[in-house]
Amino acid sequence: MSFTHPIVQQKKDFLMRLKSTIIALLLGLSIISLACSKSGGSASGMSDDDKHKLFQAAAMSGDAQLAVEASQKLGLVDSSGKPSADFEKFSKDHIDWGAKNAAWVQEYADKAKAKEYAKSHMP
């Protein structure tokens, strides 16, 4: 019989939820084919931390269109929703970012709060 400390189990559960969020976003991006011809801001001036916050908030918002828009602004998907070359690395980095920023992720776990954050921080 093995014993897993509650904190270790909480971290495992958190990482599983974070991975599930990323998988759900990938699935949503694969299903949604948006012909978004909007020109607009770019995330080139954003810090890596701000990019991860925007990505996380958009994914947690429950709004697939907002998640796609954020991913496009971050350069992670093209206008048809196809992942860019940067998407895989960003996704891997995002898992590490989420583990290091668990308090922020928890603070924006509420869909309405996450959506408001994403909308107000969209480049």
Note the pTM of the prediction, 2 decimals: 0.69
pLDDT of residue 2: 65
Both tokens of residue 70? 């954020």
DSSP per position, 50-96: HHHHHHHHHHHTT-HHHHHHHHHHTTSB-TTS-B-TTHHHHHHHHHH
pLDDT at position 18 is 81
Mean pLDDT, consecutive 10-residue segments, the chain of 123 residues?
A: 70 79 70 41 85 95 93 92 91 93 95 97 94
Closest Cα to residue 108, out of 98, 117, 96, 120? 117
Report whether 43 contacts 73 (CB < 8 A). yes
Side-chain-side CA neighbours of 68 within 13 Å: the count stands at 20
Closest among 75, 103, 83 to 22, alpha carbons compared:
83
pLDDT the model gives residue 115 = 97
The token pair that represents 8 in the structure block: 């270790």
- Domain positions in the chain: 6-35+45-121
CA distance 26 to 47: 23
Question: What pLDDT does 4 receive?
Answer: 66
